[in-house]
Amino acid sequence: MRLDKFLKVSRIIKRRSVAKEIADKGRIQINGKVAKSSSNVSVDDELIISFGNKTLTVKVTELLETTKKNDAELMYDIISEDYKTDYRQPFSD
């Protein structure tokens, strides 16, 4: 399955056009190699996705052509979710 389609169907990224744009900017790696939007994704691949402040690492567990919202999370396992600056924590004085 193409990378951009996997990201959309799994709902990691909401739109395929956005997934394509992020991949083509070199912000997604498959098994440690920079991937294009047309790169193939297989079961057991590890994806590292760099958003602005967040880096998400997931392992592909299943490939489905279409999913319902509740089944989308079954397509991957989150390995880590790292933030450059964690704005979710309250500021300490």
Query: What does the pLDDT average to over 1-17?
Result: 89
Structure tokens at 24: 């083509």
Predicted TM-score (pTM) of this structure: 0.77
More confident call, 86 vs 70 = 70
Query: pLDDT band for position 90 (50/70/90)?
Result: low
Q: Which residues have CB under 8 Å from 5's CB, separation 6+?
A: 16, 19
CA–CA gap between residue 53 and residue 36 (Å, rounded): 21
Q: Which pLDDT tens digit goes with each residue over 29-79?
A: 999 899 888 888 888 989 999 888 888 899 988 888 888 887 788 889 888
